[in-house]
Amino acid sequence: MTATFAQPAAATAPILSAMRRRRLAALAVPAVILAYFAYIFVSFDIAGLAQRARMDNAAILLADFVSHKVHVSRDNRSGTLVSAIEGEAKGTYPDGTHPDWVTVEPSRTVIDLGGGHVVTYDEAGARYDVPGYGLIDIRPEGGGLHLTAPEPLPDWINASGNRVTVTTDAGRFTYTRSKVETFRYFAGWELFFFTLDSPYHGKGALALLGGLMTGERIDPARANIIGMAEDFWNNRMWRHGDVAWAIFETILMAFLGTFGAAIISLPLAFLAARNFNLLAPVRFALRRVFDFVRGVDGLIWTIILSRAFGPGPMTGALAILITDIGSFGKTFSEALENIDEKQVEGVRSTGATAFQRARFGVIPQVTPVLLSQVLYYLESNTRSATVVGAIVGGGIGLMLTQAIQTQKDWEEVAYYMVLIILMVMLMDSFSGWLRRKLIKGE
């Protein structure tokens, strides 16, 4: 045994040194990555980010994703009282009506926020009774507001001369000289099915489902099922009809772009393949064109095209089309160069023309490769179409960026996000199914 260890000592030396090198490399890679992250940390100013981050915005966003609020506001000058869901005109309760937790009496309004929190608006001003703390009383005096509340003031009461804001778990209360406003929060998305002006609002799911086909007509003019479908589809708050159309438009952009690019690049790929085109300069030129188209990037094509064609889904489809011509041209011509020449030979021996050779000798060989490529792109382009749509102004991407830019309709953002995820997953499984069906013939 000793002999076998001792004897190859000379032979093991290079192996051992190679091992040492590899161990060093194995340590160096994490070290380099770590150093790079340290550089990024400094370069992106991540330390300063903690201060710049608006955590209150994050709280608003997350709360809005899963809940909604109802505003009960009084104009202090005219005395008019309005209840509105999310404070939007579309969600305003019809004249003189209010949610059942708001009691309107001739001289005062009592708002029950639940859990013992009660807000009262009266002629002298407003009061907020917070359980466990006491009564917050606000009345306008001279040019400012006079606040009476148990001292010391907690940090959830924010008071200045012209404005008092109280934020509790039950809701939010704001008093300014012109207006007093109370928010009460509720779980869930508001008016998702029917808006307040629909006769089906607030009827309860079981009652509506039970009376879907039979039962008394809630709206005498329409059958229940038709009325419900119409009111849901034309919901002014959520615009389900428009959203469905936008999703369709996005898929349309991806579909037209991907297949249009495939149709255009197939003949070009023949011209760029070594075994079909003997003119080297043409091949070279075409390849550079493909490289150029790919290199210019979808963003720039999108900008150039939207200048020429104006905003809309066709512009988006063309942007996807042009970008994909570069990728398809490259991969298609590579697939064509890798075909088995024997089949072409066989077709040629029957006296077939060049077109027939391509049709019967080449296409059947490359179809599976090309088709799987195209279907893969179809799926990935559905996602790109969302982004392209945001830039050219079409489809769900546009609705999404608009909803984000208003910075208050986050529940709609959440809704669109869910729909986009579902849409992409659907396209993913659809293209996978089609691929199996067409290629493997299952």
Tokens describing residue 207: 């009652």
Site string for another protein, 5-34 (x = CB under 8 A): ----------------------------x-
Cβ distance to another protein smaller for residue 102 or 427: 427
Q: For the window 348-387, what string marks contact with another protein as x by the rule CB under 8 A?
A: -----------------------------------xx-xx
Name which position in 16, 18, 46, 209 contacts another protein (CB under 8 A).
46
User: What is the SS3 string spanning the chain?
Assistant: CHHHHHCCHHHHHHHHHHHHHHHHHHHHHHHHHHHHHHHHHHHCCHHHHHHHCCHHHHHHHHHHHHEEEEEEEEECCCCCEEEEECCCHHHECCCCCCCCCEEECCCEEEEEEECCEEEEEECCEEEEEECCCEEEEEEEECCEEEEECCCCCCCCEEECCCEEEEECCCEEEEEECCEEEEEEEEECCCCCCCCCCCCCCCCCHHHHHHCCCCCCCCCCCCCHHHHHHHHHHCCCCCCHHHHHHHHHHHHHHHHHHHHHHHHHHHHHHHHHCCCCCCCHHHHHHHHHHHHHHHHHHHHHHHHHHHHHHCCCHHHHHHHHHHHHHHHHHHHHHHHHHCCCHHHHHHHHHCCCCHHHHHHHHHHHHHHHHHHHHHHHHHHHHHHHHHHHHHHHCCHHHHHHHHHHHHCCCHHHHHHHHHHHHHHHHHHHHHHHHHHHHHHHCC
Q: Report the residue from 308, 349, 440, 442 that binds another protein according to the rule CB under 8 A.
A: 308
Q: Which stretch binds another protein (CB under 8 A): 50-58, 168-176, 199-207, 276-284?
A: 50-58
Q: Binding pattern to another protein, positions 266-295, x when CB under 8 A?
A: -------------------------x--xx
Residue 191 CB, nearest approach to another protein (Å): 23
Residues in 394-433 at the binding interface with another protein, rule: CB under 8 A: 394, 397, 400-401, 404, 407, 413, 417, 420-421, 424-425, 428
Part of the chain binding another protein (CB under 8 A), chosen from 104-112, 204-212, 302-310, 368-376 = 302-310
- Spatial contact of 322 and 301, defined as CB atoms under 8 Å apart: yes
Among 13, 42, 58, 229, binds another protein (CB under 8 A): 58
Q: Which is nearer to another protein, 16 or 53 (CB)?
A: 53
The verdict on 334 binding another protein (CB under 8 A) reads: no
Q: Which of 99, 140, 211, 312 binds another protein (CB under 8 A)?
A: 312
Q: List binders of another protein among 128-167 (CB under 8 A).
A: none
Rank residues 20 and 201 by Cβ distance to another protein and give the closer one: 20
Residues written for the chain: 442
Candidate residues 147, 247, 305, 344; the one interacting with another protein per rule CB under 8 A: 305
Structure tokens at 288: 């550079």
Among 5, 10, 52, 281, binds another protein (CB under 8 A): 52
Task: By CB under 8 A, name the one of 99, 140, 199, 311 that touches another protein.
Answer: 311
From 100-108, 175-183, 215-223, 297-305, give the range in contact with another protein by CB under 8 A.
297-305
Residues lying near another protein in the complex (CB under 8 A): 33, 36-37, 40, 43-46, 49, 52-55, 57-58, 61, 249, 252-253, 255-256, 259-260, 291, 294-300, 303-305, 307-315, 317, 383-384, 386-387, 390-391, 394, 397, 400-401, 404, 407, 413, 417, 420-421, 424-425, 428
